[in-house]
Structure 1
């Protein structure tokens, strides 16, 4: 397994719609394993393939607590098959928008169909934090970030801060030449 670099906003790859996976093979299984290792190391509770520069419909999620046994979910081509009428609100963050959080409202319960790492069809009913996390990661597959669910004012403020931080951490032309 390998740690993958996590892309941070604003990066155009995070706004791309991802392509379906044609076949779950060893390459996809390696991507899933590498994404899971990267997510745990970050640390995070979810990671989508575009966040590591891969524009395929692949996500990993694990909302287990530190004192619990890990419960990783590896999902290929996830699709929501049902969402509840009632909503839940969570203070969401994202590994691609480090140190920024905002209250996001999403359906409280969902059902999701997906292929597992063996290419078998699965369906999962989820609620609470797991439902929120799956929806958050699935949004990435459509080029949607959690800040796209909040006011334009808050979103622009967060994105400006991230851009400023990126510029501050980038080596200057003088440093590159030296």
Structure 2
């Protein structure tokens, strides 16, 4: 029996639901399909993934294979369309990633500027006031916890936090030109 005749018999059996016949088709053509996809795309891992996807699609579309058509050519056609789809998807992913990185760099630069401005403003506060602000605003301490940690009266901690917050907000507003 010719290879094409063997393929036709296996396709007919697979169409009748014989999974073993389709497994034989996979065995017969997977090397050629993988080699084609590897040469086409240059990425061996992706080629192997696309070959697997190709066989999944082929199994579900066996009824679309025309009588007498080359199984290998049909599989390579499905694989090539999968390859083109992966290329388009990769371009979209790279474009999305580039846009994300550009935005992240912009946001990071803005936050870095604000961080430096805040650090400078914190440096202008008296040491006790700076410690209260650092614990209560940045460290999520309650006023009572900050008072205990710093050994200061609760009222003093509250006033230091209130005045320190007001000073930091003023510095940020002045920096942004709103003040």
Higher relative contact order (CA 8 A, sep 6+): 1
TM range (shorter): under 0.3
Identify the structure with the greater helix proportion.
Answer: 2
Q: Which has the larger radius of gyration?
A: 2
TM-score (normalizing by structure 1): 0.22
TM-score under structure 2 normalisation? 0.22
